[in-house]
Amino acid sequence: MSNDDFHLLVRNGELESALGLLESMILRGGEAPGIIPCTSLILGFCRSGRITAARRVLDIVEVYGALPDVIMYNVMISGYCKSGKIDEAFRLLDRMWVSPDVVTFNTIIQNLCEQGEVSRACEVLEDMLKRACNPNVITYTILIEAACKNSGVALAMKLLDEMRAKGCTPDLVTYNVVLNGICREGKLDEAIRFVNDMPSYGCNPNAITHDIILRSLCSAGRWMDAEKLLSGMINQGRRPKVVTFNILINFLCRKGLTSRAMDILKTMSDHGCMPNSQSYNCLLCALCENNKVDRAIKCLNTMVSQGCYPDIFTFNTLITALCKNGKVDSAVEMLSQLSSKGCRPVLISYNSLIDGLSKVGKIDKALELLNEMEGKGMMPDRITYSSLIAGLSKEGRVEKAIAMLQGLQSLRIKPTAVIYNSVLSVLCKGSMTDRAIDLYAYMVSQGCVPTESTYRILIEGLIHEGFGDEAVDLLGELCSRGVLKKASMQQLVATM
């Protein structure tokens, strides 16, 4: 058995066998194990969380093999850090046979920063400098980002100045990290000045830079300043990407400024940027929420005419809005056209439409859609059946509603009190309180906790059928148990 066999086992991922062969090679006093396969073996053990085995390989190499290189030590230190053994990483750092490099220190600094130990990470930076190991842009960017998150922008700016003073030039990622920290602290005017100063440091802002500050301005409600920033980008010959426009459109829509959002969307193509489905979806959603469904449909037509294809989110938004506005026939037609539009309906597509149909009395069509979705291999959920049971109950088809309700157990769907209440209400209003009480007993036996509405429905049913004394007894018991609120009790008493 030789290094070739050892290398083959490592390459095939047979870690235990490789370690066994390595140990037998040492016992036989054969050739020294190779650094590269041993490093790969350490990496394999570290990735699988077997740190002790990884360290065993390193110990063997140090004692019996060739001199470990810095890469091997870096892999082992990374393994310690990722497994939460930072103190072991430090101990190994102090006894390395070779000088640590920038990767060694960056690994430890990164781990400390992820744990929020920025001060300790800064101490490692000092140790790094004492050992004449020059930090690179990655070192400082890691520290600056951690400082922004845990200590504040003041420390981040200090590190940025130190970085420049030591001849390490910050890159665009570094500046964006600092900018993000300034924005997070709400210092938006300072952030704008920071962006304007970036070219003087030899670093021009990019799309990400502008997206950071644009999003922050929008979050602070300063949409006019956000628009000025966007205009400034365009005037300087910088072409904003679709994400940049979408940030502003999304904010304007959330604030109800749909007309302004539409204006922004219309100008996108003038600047060489075509709107995508997300651009339109923000606008469509806002229009639908404001009950402007007709305008939303027109927007959809514009979207298609511009060569932007709607996605399933687009159609679900419109289907839901049409149903809420009672335009269920239009919603049914839209659902039927999804396949031809390159979209496959999802559960929420059917649920929205089934709910809309059930509420306007078109329960048979809703049941057809249930069969259709099941035929496509789609499993209805509790929301689906809640709409159908409520719709059946509303149409007086109580027997079918109860059968569907009791059939949910076999489907491993646990009905809510709201579902039971929809059937109980119809039974009580139809002078079938005795059946309502039976259903209530079944409800409790199935582990569904009745709500205050459940008891109100039953008491009102008893009163409606002339069982006043029974209603009073039940009301008194419920009040003594604290099930009914005082206000509800007074309302019920007033109807008796």
pLDDT in tens, 383-407: 999 999 999 999 999 999 999 999 9
The model's confidence at residue 476, banded by pLDDT at 50, 70 and 90, is low
Higher pLDDT, 371 or 481: 371
Residue 216, token pair as written in the block: 């922050």
* CA 48 from centre of chain: 27
Task: Determine, yes or no, domain membership for 62.
Answer: yes
Long-range residue pairs from 228-236, CB within 8 A, at least 24 positions apart, any chain: 229/192, 234/271
Exposed/middle/buried for residue 337 (C-beta within 10 Å: 0-12, 13-18, 19+): exposed
Q: What is the number of alpha carbons within 13 Å of residue 89 lying toward its C-beta? A: 25
Query: Minimal CA–CA distance to 293: which of 323, 263, 268, 273?
Result: 323
> Given a cut of 70, is residue 471 above it in pLDDT?
no
Higher pLDDT, 33 or 43: 43
Task: Determine, yes or no, domain membership for 426.
Answer: no
* Mean pLDDT, the chain, integer: 89
Q: Distance (Å, rounded) from C-alpha 392 to C-alpha 387?
A: 9
E strand or H helix at 129: helix 118-130
Percent of the residues in the chain that have a pLDDT greater than 90, as a whole number: 64
In the three-class reduction of DSSP (H, G, I as helix; E, B as strand; rest coil), residue 343 is classed as coil
> Given a cut of 70, is residue 475 above it in pLDDT?
no
- Mean pLDDT of all residues in 160-176: 94
> Given a cut of 90, is residue 280 above it in pLDDT?
yes
Q: What is the number of alpha carbons within 13 Å of residue 11 lying toward its C-beta? A: 7
> Given a cut of 60, is residue 493 above it in pLDDT?
no
Q: Distance (Å, rounded) from C-alpha 40 to C-alpha 69?
A: 13
Q: What letter does residue 98 receive in the DSSP assignment?
A: S
- Report how many domains make up the chain: 1
Query: Minimal CA–CA distance to 102: which of 160, 168, 157, 36?
Result: 168
> Given a cut of 80, is residue 479 above it in pLDDT?
no
Cβ atoms within 10 Å of 294's Cβ, excluding its own: 11
Task: Determine, yes or no, domain membership for 39.
Answer: yes
Task: Determine, yes or no, domain membership for 58.
Answer: yes
Q: Distance (Å, rounded) from C-alpha 76 to C-alpha 73?
A: 5
Higher pLDDT, 463 or 195: 195
- Mean pLDDT of all residues in 100-121: 95
Q: Distance (Å, rounded) from C-alpha 148 to C-alpha 118?
A: 10
Task: Determine, yes or no, domain membership for 71.
Answer: yes
Q: What is the CATH number of the domain that holds 67?
A: 1.25.40.10
Task: Determine, yes or no, domain membership for 75.
Answer: yes
pLDDT of residue 6: 84
The model's confidence at residue 83, banded by pLDDT at 50, 70 and 90, is very high
- Contact between 426 and 394 (Cβ < 8 Å): yes
pLDDT of residue 251: 92
pLDDT of residue 481: 62
- Mean pLDDT of all residues in 218-244: 86
> Given a cut of 90, is residue 285 above it in pLDDT?
yes
Q: Domain range holding 88?
A: 1-98
Task: Determine, yes or no, domain membership for 14.
Answer: yes
The model's confidence at residue 340, banded by pLDDT at 50, 70 and 90, is confident
Longest dimension (CA), the chain: 100
- Mean pLDDT of all residues in 434-450: 89
- Mean pLDDT of all residues in 482-490: 58
Task: Determine, yes or no, domain membership for 70.
Answer: yes
User: Which of the residue ranges 167-171, 238-242, 327-331 would you say has the lowest mean pLDDT?
Assistant: 238-242
The model's confidence at residue 229, banded by pLDDT at 50, 70 and 90, is confident
Highest mean pLDDT among 3-7, 220-224, 237-241: 220-224
What does the angle CA 112 – CA 117 – CA 119 come to, to the nearest 5 degrees?
110
pLDDT digits (tens, 9 = 90+) for 117-142: 999 999 999 999 999 999 999 999 99
pLDDT of residue 160: 95
- Contact between 105 and 112 (Cβ < 8 Å): no
Buried b (16+ CB within 10 A) or exposed e, 368-397: ebbeebeeeebebebbbbbbbbbbbbbbeb
The model's confidence at residue 494, banded by pLDDT at 50, 70 and 90, is low
